[in-house]
Structure 1
């Protein structure tokens, strides 16, 4: 039945039903009624708190929450403040006062903060929530429902580690984001890219060798699941980018060069033609946002920058001239502290292991060049296929001590990464200021037992050092009271 005939008894004698205001009003009433029935049936509200740890009582809901005599890392300064009171009202930071705040008409929930640090929620600028905690073969062969269940658990764990916002750079994460935003699941704010867009044989092509050559019109499992989108001409790149934007992507992810985990492509190769790359970038620009690119080698990065990409992921093999170009063009560099300090999932001597070692060898040079040329550098963990690594997300951040001071690192993972999120412009899925403890900013806050500027390793032990996690004014973890 055509939509027009189906709804003719509701909005008779109209031309375009999808644009009719009366049909729109009917749809909103129906959705509201469904939501009321859902809540009446016992579903959670729009912003539930995660269950507290065993033996810890959940505080009563409060419209106002007062952090008393905390020292504040505001996301922009090199030192903590003197002890002060911070009042949260609703989902915003209302008042920051060096003097004790008296109770107003509404008695706030009081959180004693003497000896503790209040700081912005951490932001991971490169995640794959759908792929973080399952082995690669499980992801390629499991029922997609199981993958989504694992991702729900991964999102909750990530929030309880103190990561209140993430930029997700590849994977079918739209449903997870919607569930979190609707209060049906617990997790960070998500800036989604949706499927990463790849050429055949590129970093986003995870077909098995016996799936090639591809049959005309065929789609691989990863494409059907929304994990990747294969495109081999400008028109298809443009179409796939538009599809992700239509689904809610806040930025587009293009695979511009070779990768470690992908089976077909050497690390140094350049992927897509200039015309194909420009088609994806232009689709994002027309939507008011930007394209970021996966690439390690100079030629791939240069082609992407010339096409208009605004951010580069990885780039461990870049030479000085290319890094200088990033600085000149004011391109963001989302760089990960990849080091050969943990067991590798790849067999020694394998092609993937050789690619991995080459990438590891470039990390020191990449950070030194980024610092030398003043490139705007973001941090992201980029954890894939490894639940143990996911649990050590904070340790991926503290690795930056090899190149930066603790204040520089914390600024990068809060206000710095927030500035990168803001590159999405009007396509940002959330309104308000993040990454800072300032009056009027969103209340995404962490209460730390100690001083992370003096001991950044506190972030490696969130189960004991992280006393409270607040996102959007709601408390999701609380062992402070």
Structure 2
């Protein structure tokens, strides 16, 4: 405020006429503020890009189709994500990030940019329905003790790696993935689309309670623990707290809510068979999510826990390898989805020394085989997920390939494409992306993979990313080793 204004406000005689409010002065101030904001923005952008570049996370050159010019994939064999057979004699027309049409071979528009697929198979982009984007590339100790900036930078690197493995979409079921999602969507880093759950909702002593016993008893005045502060987990006891924590995740942009309804294999304090959250607490989360047009998914292994979840209205069971046949039949009757992971106690499994954890892991591995069989027998809606935590993210493709031991290769692919896309649609209006996923069909989002391999024969090609010759996500080319075939 100028001296004249101060004097006037003090009741003193003004020294001179005040020009603070004149149009000329205000216009000059706006120009100065705009220049300062522009400089701050450019400096901030340079710092961010420099930071990511130094960590190997600078956005890769991606090429969208030529503006106003459609893209036509030709000379291909097609798996559409739904029909369990390959289709010949069609091309794929991409326009505006979506699949515009599947014209007969040779019948596409003349002015289209063309990519000759060389007779290779084209499949939809893969979907992992049980992923932890911010926790898949660090150790558990690092996740719980290191600076959160490091955790997020590593998650950015792992997101790019997941996309290069052909996973164009993931459903994140626990962790602070909202920032990563925004960075990917804005092109700061590359990675798959993310359907985020936000923090895992857990009761005290539940599967999402990462505190040590020496932190007890918790008092009302105590600060939140590290995992809670960073958005990895949210502890809630009783209906009011469940409502609060659910609404917080929805406020952040959760596309679905994740709760822990039972124990885990390596959990230090909660036994695998333990039941977590009372029925009224579960219903509170379900009703709260439903008010926003979305649903709840639940970590749980055992039949009693699954039954309680179904009674509460939970729409997706995560894991569930210890379900008995009556419970699986109940899932089918209620239309409950099942996200099954190939937990097989093999070279890709987490290694444990605690006898209790080893015994639990063995039981889950045996249950995995039964789960695939019972899901097929009772026609349960189910989709593929990995649940890779703390290490081993590069096994993501191999995990999908393992499904071909229990079903045909195309049936296995269906669970990571068309079926997974149906599961994602449960998010309704809370889905972050509009359009069908996991299928090659008119008006679906143009997520496409051109592969070296025969998906009718086996899925061994998933073990080597070199077999992915072309990766499109939303019509953008993120990898193209068919450049010599592009017209």
Q: TM-score range by the shorter chain?
A: 0.7 to 0.9
Corresponding residue for residue 5 of structure 1: none
Assess, with a 3 A threshold, how the Cα gap between structure 1 residues 68 and 235 changes in structure 2: closer, same or farther: same
Corresponding residue for residue 335 of structure 2: 330
* CA distance in structure 2 between the partners assigned to 1:202 and 1:471 by the alignment: 37
**Cα deviation, residue 35, structure 1:** 12
Give per-residue Cα distances to partners, 1:28-72, cap 9 Å, x unaligned. Answer: xx9xx979965996788xxx99637xxxxx768523222121111
- Equivalent residues of 2:471, 2:480 under 8 A apart: yes
SS in 2 for 1:111: strand
Structure 1 unaligned residues grouped into runs of 5+: 1-29, 53-57
* CA distance in structure 2 between the partners assigned to 1:101 and 1:239 by the alignment: 56
* CA distance in structure 2 between the partners assigned to 1:432 and 1:314 by the alignment: 27
**Cα deviation, residue 156, structure 1:** 0.5
**Cα deviation, residue 346, structure 1:** 4.1
* CA distance in structure 2 between the partners assigned to 1:36 and 1:195 by the alignment: 32
SS in 2 for 1:179: helix
**Cα deviation, residue 318, structure 1:** 0.7
SS in 2 for 1:337: coil
* CA distance in structure 2 between the partners assigned to 1:108 and 1:40 by the alignment: 39
* CA distance in structure 1 between the partners assigned to 2:228 and 2:313 by the alignment: 26
Aligned match for 2:184, one of 157, 180, 202: 180
* CA distance in structure 1 between the partners assigned to 2:123 and 2:414 by the alignment: 10
Please identify the structure whose Cα radius of gyration is greater. 2
Corresponding residue for residue 267 of structure 1: 272
* CA distance in structure 2 between the partners assigned to 1:49 and 1:70 by the alignment: 33
* CA distance in structure 2 between the partners assigned to 1:39 and 1:470 by the alignment: 32
Structure 2 unaligned residues grouped into runs of 5+: 1-33, 50-56
- Equivalent residues of 1:91, 1:442 under 8 A apart: yes
Number of residue equivalences: 438
Assess, with a 3 A threshold, how the Cα gap between structure 1 residues 59 and 310 changes in structure 2: closer, same or farther: closer
* CA distance in structure 1 between the partners assigned to 2:219 and 2:100 by the alignment: 59
SS in 1 for 2:321: coil
**Cα deviation, residue 103, structure 1:** 5.0
Corresponding residue for residue 475 of structure 2: 473
Corresponding residue for residue 458 of structure 1: 461
Corresponding residue for residue 147 of structure 2: 143
**Cα deviation, residue 377, structure 1:** 1.0
Corresponding residue for residue 437 of structure 1: 440
* CA distance in structure 2 between the partners assigned to 1:281 and 1:471 by the alignment: 32
Report whether the alignment pairs 1:166 with 2:179.
no
Corresponding residue for residue 24 of structure 2: none
Report whether the alignment pairs 1:401 with 2:401.
no
Give per-residue Cα distances to partners, 1:329-367, cap 9 Å, x unaligned. Answer: 110011111101126544434432232222112111222
Corresponding residue for residue 86 of structure 2: 80
Corresponding residue for residue 96 of structure 1: 102
* CA distance in structure 2 between the partners assigned to 1:319 and 1:354 by the alignment: 18
* CA distance in structure 1 between the partners assigned to 2:146 and 2:44 by the alignment: 34
- Equivalent residues of 2:286, 2:313 under 8 A apart: yes
* CA distance in structure 2 between the partners assigned to 1:41 and 1:310 by the alignment: 41
Corresponding residue for residue 372 of structure 1: 377
Assess, with a 3 A threshold, how the Cα gap between structure 1 residues 230 and 35 changes in structure 2: closer, same or farther: farther
Assess, with a 3 A threshold, how the Cα gap between structure 1 residues 284 and 102 changes in structure 2: closer, same or farther: closer
Assess, with a 3 A threshold, how the Cα gap between structure 1 residues 41 and 137 changes in structure 2: closer, same or farther: closer
- Equivalent residues of 2:343, 2:349 under 8 A apart: no
Aligned match for 2:260, one of 255, 258, 261: 255
* CA distance in structure 2 between the partners assigned to 1:41 and 1:232 by the alignment: 42
Pairing 1:296-445 to 2, within 5 Å after superposition: 296-342=301-347, 345-386=350-391, 389-445=392-448
Runs (4+) of structure 1 exceeding 6 A deviation are 33-36, 39-44
Aligned match for 1:231, one of 229, 232, 236: 236
* CA distance in structure 2 between the partners assigned to 1:116 and 1:384 by the alignment: 33
Give per-residue Cα distances to partners, 1:400-428, cap 9 Å, x unaligned. Answer: 12221111111111110000000000010
* CA distance in structure 2 between the partners assigned to 1:402 and 1:393 by the alignment: 16
SS in 2 for 1:226: coil
**Cα deviation, residue 456, structure 1:** 1.3
TM-score by length of 2: 0.85
TM-score by length of 1: 0.86
**Cα deviation, residue 109, structure 1:** 3.1
> Which range is displaced more, 292-301 or 402-411?
402-411
- Equivalent residues of 1:238, 1:280 under 8 A apart: yes
- Equivalent residues of 1:302, 1:322 under 8 A apart: yes
Give per-residue Cα distances to partners, 1:275-307, cap 9 Å, x unaligned. Answer: 111111111111110001110011111111111
* CA distance in structure 1 between the partners assigned to 2:108 and 2:424 by the alignment: 36
- Equivalent residues of 1:115, 1:449 under 8 A apart: no
